[in-house]
Amino acid sequence: MSAKIPLAGVIGSPISHSKSPQLHRHWLKTYGLPGDYIPMDVAPQDLELVLRTLPKAGFVGVNITIPHKESALEIADLVTDRATLIGAANTLIFRKDGQIHADNTDGYGFLENLRAGAPQWAPASGPAAVLGAGGAARAVVASLLDAGVPEIFVTNRTRVRAEKLADDFGNRVTVVDWVQAGNILEDSALVVNTTSLGMIGKPAMRVPLDGLRRGSVVTDLVYAPLRTDLLATAEQAGCVTVDGLGMLLHQAVPAFERWFGQRPDVDSATRAAALR
């Protein structure tokens, strides 16, 4: 009797930078599970063919990253409500009946990381400021609204993208012009950077940060570097800071559980494995 070894992976382009393979392989090893997790660089025009073929080769699902998060949603046969609202998929499950099921666990990962890194933060503690209005921002806003944050200020370089987000998410979201971004920090109990600013190889964060107030919580989705300039400045201002690596780890938990049948722990060994 030969049982198929379950395979999963991550599809993006480029993909060599992804930390997901070492993360999932660490969990497979920790729990003594059969399986593997493989990075795949796939061109946009090949995505659908690859997704329809992988289940035939023993794949139980894949993570999806830039630039495929929106197209994966269109290709999927079944889509969760949260992925529809966010407009992007980061996790696909290949069902036994041949259908592709799409979900988005970024918001879940964001909130779990925030709760782990800043246990004193409560959704009702005040408004949140979200810098950026891309796919990650939509996942963050969805999760914060779900958690009960009373008001969210969203600011984005391209204003129309922030307005679209506010239209989609309702009247607890207020758009603030990008040039006014510094002004919303003072009134916010939580500040989230969802732009790529501050990431290695990207422009620096230029939003004026003198409005950050002592005791507020500041988190950055950028995790390369781990301690971004935003987090360093926030720390000096007496804020509680949470880095973005934990979001990557926590967003992977529901996927790993669905694919391999074991809910994994996010602990210091998991963090070390992702940083290797």
Residues with a known catalytic role: 69
Q: Which residue sits closest to ligand NAP, CB atoms considered?
A: 134
CA dist 173 and 186 (Å) reads: 17
Q: How far apart (Å, rounded) are the C-alpha atoms in residues 241 and 191?
A: 10
**Residue 83 CB, nearest distance to ligand NAP (Å)?**
14
Task: Locate the DSSP E strands across the chain.
Answer: 7-12, 36-41, 59-64, 78-79, 91-94, 100-103, 128-131, 152-156, 173-177, 190-193, 217-220, 240-242
Shortest distance (Å) from residue 229 CB to ligand NAP: 14
Shortest distance in whole angstroms from residue 228 CB to ligand NAP: 10
Distance CA 36, CA 2 (A): 17
* Cα maximum dimension of the chain: 65
The values of phi and psi at residue 206, to 5°, are -110, 0
- State the residues that interact with ligand NAP by CB under 6 A: 106, 109, 132-137, 156-158, 161, 194-197, 199, 203, 221-223, 244, 247-248, 251
Contact of 166 with 189, CB cutoff 8 Å: no
Among candidate residues 109, 114, 60, 107, the one with its CA nearest the CA of residue 88: 107
